[in-house]
Structure 1
Amino acid sequence: MTKRIELIDVLNITDETAYKVHLANWNGENHPLDVFVRSRDEWKVWNSWRSSRNEFNRKLIFSLIAFYPEPNTWLFGGVYKVIERGRVNDAPSYKVELTNQFCPMIGRLKLKWKRTGRAKSRKFENVIEEFEVSEILKEPYSGEHFCGYENINHDFGRLEVIFTNCKPDWKTALQNVKGVYLIIDKSNGKKYVGSAYGDMGIWSRWSTYMTTGHGYNDELTNIIDHKGLDYARDNFRFSLLEYRPMKTDDAKIIEREGYWKEALLSRGKFGYNKN
């Protein structure tokens, strides 16, 4: 039987009482795992947020990120030192800085631990022996692995991380196929059916969405121009309806795009397609 590897087996922690554990998980808008991959500066802000209860009342914050691709799994996000407890923009906040403690493990160390309760902080000494090392990645986590064409059903924010980091497995898969795709606006259920053909694979076409939010489609452009890119991040979800080899005749892709517009009623009041 394989021996369980505990956190204390891989990290030399001399004073457990100096730390509070930060359990960062979905806040209703963003997954901290996506934030961590997208921007380390933005991730630092997550460790600066302070509620009225002052959960992080010790000098060090041991940050863990809910690793949503796997249940009961947490990714190490660094140790932050609390420099000051004050206010920013008239709201309670911590001033923190990333320490050099265990830096080689940031984004690489994955722990197994089943969370109980909803509190976002724990006293380190109360939980340290419960943490089991599940994996140490070769490189810091940079986004999920390609899930297969039939399994793409991703919110804009998750795809944005993948495209920003130019994930090689996703890029290789998507730049070598044409196809028909679907964008759903989760706020109202409206649909947009689009396609990628000519010399433009799905990767190139979707890259335009990731930078503009609208891909230069008339109806989507009107929305993003008025509401901003965050509207796309909060509401747009992408899936791939069909994919074909790059040698497929463009007329076939356009024909299939028309079929899906009819099948999904994406023209008129049910969708954002104008033609």
Structure 2
Amino acid sequence: MKLIENSPLDENSRVKYVRHKDKKRFLELSEHIVPNISELEDYQSEQRKDVFKNLDYIISFIGFEGRKSLFWGVFKVHSGRYNLEKDQYEYDLEEMPQFNALKFRLVIDWGDAERSWHQHYHNADKKVIELYSDQPMEKFPGYEHIHLSWNQLKYVIDKESWKIALQNQKAVYLITDISNGKMYVGSAYGENMLLNRWQNYIKSGHGGNIQLEKLSREYIENNFKFSILDIFKSTTDDQVILNRESWWKNTLLTRTFGYNAN
């Protein structure tokens, strides 16, 4: 409470703590991977019950690893309305910029009542566990932890720690279309290796792949997830990479049911 009091919250403010943890929609959430913010904003502003009724502010967190919760921000509740067609309440929320210095850096213990995802602010304080030195995505999390949306990849691709990690490794990678489950297996072994390959996706959207060129850039940006299947040293023979790429295509059946044309 001391970290956020009087700016603009005070003892008269009507406030709730809110903790988002949706296993179906935000599987990739962790202290390392910042979510697709626009998707999370939509998710927060649409509720089945009138949980933000008569509130001035909500203090939002992202849940991960049991009770751990990563601070997202403080939002002013301007108004709320019931959408009869969608059978949901919709809120106009404004993020308060005063707390940007703590955004995706502050980790708290949510407490024992994990299922109680919205709680009144003045009833109990929250214990601070950690304050990261920088935003989590600035630091490369390790190849095995990469599961990035297109927007996340665009954000990290020019960060120094990511560039160093990606440009020195050959790899077999996976692109997953979350709208239909189709997958694409690709490989990176040329100049600047994985960095160069993924930079091409950010630049063109499709990376020069025949099947992906048929999709609109907007569709790709909204539905594609990037991850790594195999990672190799820069000295590994290129044929080893190609053999593993082919093995993954056969295993995941991406030529038959996915986006691989060959």
Shorter-chain TM-score range: 0.7 to 0.9
Deviation at 1:111, TM superposition (A): 0.7
Give the TM-score normalised by the residue count of structure 2.
Answer: 0.73
2:68 is the counterpart of 1:81 = no
For the 8 Å contact 2:178–2:223, the answer to whether it is kept is no
For the 8 Å contact 1:17–1:125, the answer to whether it is kept is no
What RMSD in Å do the two structures reach over aligned CA positions? 3.8
2:61 is the counterpart of 1:48 = no
Amino acid at match of 1:216: G
Deviations 1:212-255 (A, max 9, x none): 55322122333x3499226633xx4521424231x66xxx3145
For the 8 Å contact 2:16–2:121, the answer to whether it is kept is yes
For the 8 Å contact 1:22–1:120, the answer to whether it is kept is yes
Residue 14 of structure 2: aligned partner: 18
CA distance in 1, matches of 2:142, 2:43: 31
The unaligned stretches of length 5 or more in structure 2 are none
State the secondary structure of the residue aligned to 2:24: coil
Q: Which of 92, 96, 113 is equivalent to 2:93?
A: 96
For the 8 Å contact 1:195–1:254, the answer to whether it is kept is no
CA distance in 1, matches of 2:181, 2:83: 37
State the secondary structure of the residue aligned to 1:207: helix
State the secondary structure of the residue aligned to 2:137: coil
Deviation at 1:185, TM superposition (A): 5.6
Deviation at 1:202, TM superposition (A): 0.1
The unaligned stretches of length 5 or more in structure 1 are 1-7
Please list, as runs of the form range in 1=range in 2, the aligned pairs for 1:52-67 lying within 5 A after superposition.
Answer: 52-66=49-63
CA distance in 1, matches of 2:212, 2:115: 37
State the secondary structure of the residue aligned to 2:45: coil
For the 8 Å contact 1:36–1:43, the answer to whether it is kept is no
Amino acid at match of 2:199: S
Deviation at 1:106, TM superposition (A): 3.2
Please list, as runs of the form range in 1=range in 2, the aligned pairs for 1:132-147 lying within 5 A after superposition.
Answer: 132-139=127-134, 141-143=135-137, 145-147=139-141
CA distance in 2, matches of 1:32, 1:57: 29
The structure that has the greater radius of gyration is 1
Deviation at 1:107, TM superposition (A): 3.2
Amino acid at match of 2:18: H
For the 8 Å contact 2:34–2:137, the answer to whether it is kept is no
Q: Which of 164, 171, 192 is equivalent to 2:155?
A: 164
Residue 242 of structure 2: aligned partner: 257
For the 8 Å contact 1:185–1:191, the answer to whether it is kept is yes
Give the TM-score normalised by the residue count of structure 1.
Answer: 0.70
Identity of aligned residues (%): 27
For the 8 Å contact 1:112–1:133, the answer to whether it is kept is yes
For the 8 Å contact 1:212–1:229, the answer to whether it is kept is no
Deviation at 1:172, TM superposition (A): 0.9
Residue 172 of structure 2: aligned partner: 180
State the secondary structure of the residue aligned to 2:46: coil
For the 8 Å contact 1:63–1:76, the answer to whether it is kept is yes
Q: How many residues align?
A: 252
For the 8 Å contact 2:15–2:57, the answer to whether it is kept is yes
